[in-house]
Chains A and B, each alone.
Chain A
């Protein structure tokens, strides 16, 4: 208690003008945020469907005061926000994907510890927080499953530590196979009924597009960066041409071309999956930017290191692979993560490709006559989800930088 008082006195009320400023700021904050508080918390409707919101509104009007937020639009449309127009009967497949990813993460955390374990702890905590929020019991059960999927493999790994030989290799292979497995589970084929990619939507589509875009564009970008530095003229000119053309075109144009103009160049009956086109467009676009980031990193490696490696008898490829690239990539982590964050947000442009991602499914919900007028609630929620994901990416990159010692030599 005394500590708090001392801190207050030293920092907020040390002189008469500081006191005045403090009071003014508090007054200003109150004026600015009391309305928001009233709307978002005090008068808000949290459950009971569209009818409850209508009732609260009519009551407020009868009393002649303003009415609060209608947060119930979020849980009522949760399925839409999470999976869009994905068939309700096949939703379990998305949960299975989430569980497999969580279990892989848990197992990896047991093997590698360090950063992965922090991620697992953060995800577990987030899932526990979600459990407390007003979701239905079945939804809570599904979410509790995430916690289990994270924790159980982690524990298993500790029990059977290093009993399995080459566990790291197996896990690495598993991570490589994961995107294929996920796309198969979601899209169907073979024994599973097919779900057209035009039915994918919501947060699931946003994450899928972003993850596949990131995973595929990174190696491509590195190759392009190396290509631009190459001594082979064809490779170099191709890389330069590609990077400069793609960087000179807005992303929305690339998606527009891929989704609408492609059929003009292909024979009439040949149709390429909509989501696949969007993924390819995002990948090709982001790769050009990644390439330039990585080139910046490559050029920051001093000539002396390369000469030293050559003096030791390392070949050109070995030098690149073990001396130049690790340092170059480490140096450009902040720039690349910035690119990935921007890719995550740019996925909302898939609307041009006739796909309903998180943002655009929100717009569809707003056109439902039942939920007319809930624009602020829906858009705030969508913005919050985007923020959670991008902030997590930013935080992760900062941790990675600390671990790898970026900024130190």
Chain B
């Protein structure tokens, strides 16, 4: 009898806290984030320009700034973020299990991931793609000029496959020089063992800084693969998806309307209805998202518009949005790029 009572009370002891504390818990992601008091953002800690740790121990980079933007939209405080460095292998399980609220870690949007996994992809924040770096003196200006060129490439990556596909498509012959290590590839290119080097454009830019004379090299504007990178959220919470989506659009629209962290305070008196709606002075868009009406104004003030975020993080790598008059996909749509936000009305 005593044993039975003991067993029953043990079970009650174990189950009770689970039952009692599961009551009154918020069901939405936004509610959970607000109850927790901070956003948990899955990031990469080792991509030049996109995510790294500065000497003071703070996370820094392009993707990090979008975590800050999201935290600012929710809390009006860019520091209410807990960064979770996730690996290529652990990012999707981490998002799926709810360990992270949002994944902002150079993740390419593909149909397989969007349809095959229970995730939604927010608008692309950075259009990456496989490109080529050549010497400025080499007279290679387009992909066709690569005919007969020796090209340094990493072994066994999709990069190598894309290169072969491109050569077949354009009907040119190329001589790939294959390396298993990034540093070896960069060194070989630097020593002039190949005429061109191929990798993702952001990776090429990081490699260029390491070269002995970075200014002697240029990245061709043409890209041979599409790598759209942006935030990813779980299925099943459309409000949260909307918040992430429109926070990204907020930074883009702000740049288009020339609202920046520097002039946002003055523009609060603006009579331009587009700016007034963007800053939450008219309309109830913030409320409808479950946030404050000034959410976008706060993001612009504390983090900046798309151009500011780009210039702060990616420009130091030497990746221009408009190079030699030719817009990259990361230029604003009215400059000829792909950065486009739907209207705020």
Instruction: Show the binding face of A for B, using Cβ within 8 Å.
Output: 57, 61, 76-77, 79-80, 83-88, 196, 198, 201, 256, 259-264, 267-270, 351-352, 354, 356, 360-361, 363-369, 372-373, 375
Contacts and interface: CB of A to CB of B under 8 A. Distances in A.
Nearest to A66: B212
B55 A76 contact: yes
Nearest to A363: B46
Interface stretch (B87-95, B140-148, B280-288): B87-95
Given A79-B57, A84-B57, A269-B21, A264 B52 contact: no
20 contacts: A76-B55, A84-B53, A85-B57, A196-B82, A256-B90, A260-B90, A260-B94, A264-B97, A268-B32, A269-B25, A270-B21, A351-B85, A351-B87, A356-B85, A360-B85, A361-B53, A364-B45, A367-B48, A368-B54, A372-B210
Contact of A88 (B32, B47, B56): B56
A365 B53 CA distance: 6
A364 B46 CA distance: 5
Given A260-B99, A352-B90, A369 B85 contact: no
A110 B210 CA distance: 53
Nearest to B35: A269
A365 B52 contact: yes
Contacts of A80: 53, 55, 57
B177 to A, nearest CB: 21
B84 interface: yes
Given A354-B84, A368-B48, A373-B210, 16 more contacts: A61-B213, A79-B57, A85-B58, A88-B56, A201-B57, A259-B90, A263-B99, A264-B97, A267-B18, A268-B25, A351-B87, A364-B46, A366-B46, A367-B45, A368-B53, A373-B209
B266 interface: no
Contacts of B82: 196, 198
Nearest to B17: A270
Contact of A369 (B49, B93, B94): B49
Interface of B: 18, 21-22, 25, 32, 35, 45-49, 51-61, 82-87, 90, 93-94, 97-99, 183, 206, 209-210, 212-213, 316-317
Nearest to A86: B57
Contacts of A85: 53, 57-59, 83
A79 B55 contact: yes
Contacts of B57: 79-80, 83-88, 201
A372 B48 contact: yes
A155 to B, nearest CB: 37
Given A88-B56, A356-B53, A369-B206, A267 B46 contact: no
A360 B48 CA distance: 15
A267 B22 contact: yes
Nearest to A73: B55
Contact of A61 (B45, B56, B212, B317): B212
Contact of A259 (B46, B99, B213): B99
Most buried by B among A85, A270, A354: A354
Given A61-B213, A260-B90, A261-B97, A198 B53 contact: no
Contact of B53 (A76, A364, A375): A364
A359 to B, nearest CB: 11
A369 B32 contact: no
B46 A367 contact: yes
A123 B108 CA distance: 49
A268 B28 CA distance: 11
Nearest to B91: A260
B212 A57 contact: yes
Of B35, B45, B54, the most chain A CB neighbours within 10 A belong to B45
Contacts of A351: 85, 87
B317 A369 contact: yes
Nearest to A266: B18
A367 to B, nearest CB: 4
Contact of A261 (B48, B59, B85, B93): B93
A56 B90 CA distance: 40
B83 A368 contact: no
Most buried by B among A198, A262, A367: A367
B33 to A, nearest CB: 12
B21 A267 contact: yes
B21 A372 contact: no
A314 to B, nearest CB: 32
A294 B61 CA distance: 49
Nearest to A260: B93
